[in-house]
Amino acid sequence: MTGTVNRVWHLAARPTGFPSESDFELRPEPVPSPGPGQVLVRNEVMSVDPAMRGRMNDVKSYVEPFQLGAPLDGGAVGTVVASRSGDVEAGQSVLHGLGWREYALLDAARVRVVDTTAAPASAFLGVLGMPGLTAYAGLLDVARMRPEETVFVSGAAGAVGTLVGQIARLRGARLVIGSAGTPEKVRYLTEELGFDGAFNYRDGDIRGQLKRLAPDGIDVFFDNVGGEQLEAALFRMNLHGRIAVCGAISQYNTPDATGIRNLSLLISKRLTMQGFLVLDHWSRREAFMEEMTAWLREDRIKVAETFVDGIDHAVEAFLGMLKGANLGKMIVRLTA
């Protein structure tokens, strides 16, 4: 790797409100060499995720915040180009957590070998990765969805939402409805993914649209958005309904956002509302992989991905994802 430059994205400033490109800096660095027990990976695809926005704030959370002036990180899949480990060989494809750079140096214990002949590299960042397990465990374990129930998914055209709706359908939901931010996404949910109904939340009257699509109420709400959609869904929840809170992207860039005004419905309707992290559900990974790979093999799950090409455009992809520019999983492709 002598003479090869490694381009790495750093956090240049902590965003106030919605991030801007000036909050990030792409720096050239020497390509590192692996030491004993380490591998050097040339990244091929990397993930940009909503949770990365929270890590840009200097606040205590379930994961350490990004440090000013330091490299960003996130999920990536690449090829091992040099190895000093007996467990991982050069030429193997691996999943790891040091994205936002062209080359990643890691201890071999921090990578997982994946078979990119059985599924594309991007699948391990999406349908077979963290978003897939999030959808599976959140719907089946946290929300405890049962057959013949009505399921509402907010942010249904995103990486997690597209999978939640399909899993609900495959597991016998009576009615699956979703929200999205464009007419094209609404059509995709119903015409391609098999949702029974969907609506554009930008059209307003979310409560009315939910009543129209779910006249008998909602049993399970998988929430990726929070805010106005959560408030509207609370009005439509059935007695003893369950809400799995996966995200609140509507409020990530608006620290002064209006709060939820009808939480008293949790009492009168005896609702269960639970936030969750996929980190707490790794024990479900084997069952998830077995069922999801079977669905994919049988063509019963459709995968939605949006690609942006080039490390130079990683921030553009991240900001676009926060604005809803993606259909399904947003992926940055680093190599042709």
Domain with CATH 3.90.180.10 in the chain: 5-126+304-333
Topology classification of domain 5-126+304-333? Quinone Oxidoreductase; Chain A, domain 1 (3.90.180)
Whether domain 130-279 has CATH 2.70.70.10: the reply is no
Domain with CATH 3.40.50.720 in the chain: 130-279
Q: What is the pLDDT of residue 254?
A: 81
DSSP string computed for 309-323: ESGGGHHHHHHHHHT
Angle, nearest 10°, between helix axes 285-297 and 130-137?
100
Residue 2 has pLDDT above 50, yes or no: no
Q: What is the pLDDT of residues 29-71, one digit of tens each?
A: 999 999 999 999 999 999 999 999 999 999 999 899 999 999 9
* Between 255 and 49, residue with greater pLDDT: 49
The arithmetic mean of pLDDT across residues 287-300, rounded, is: 97
Average pLDDT, the chain: 96
Confidence class of residue 255 from pLDDT cuts 50, 70 and 90?
Answer: low
The arithmetic mean of pLDDT across residues 276-298, rounded, is: 97
The arithmetic mean of pLDDT across residues 298-318, rounded, is: 98
Return d(Cα 242, Cα 272) in angstroms, integer.
Answer: 5
The string over 227-242, giving b where at least 16 C-beta atoms fall within 10 Å of a residue's C-beta and e elsewhere, is: bbbbbbbbebbbeebb
Statement: the pTM of the whole predicted model exceeds 0.85: yes
Half-sphere exposure of 3 (CA within 13 A, CB side): 0
Q: What is the pLDDT of residues 167-185, one digit of tens each?
A: 999 999 999 999 999 999 9
Q: What share of the chain is helix, strand, coil (3-state, %, to 5)?
A: 30, 25, 40
Residue 258 has pLDDT above 90, yes or no: no
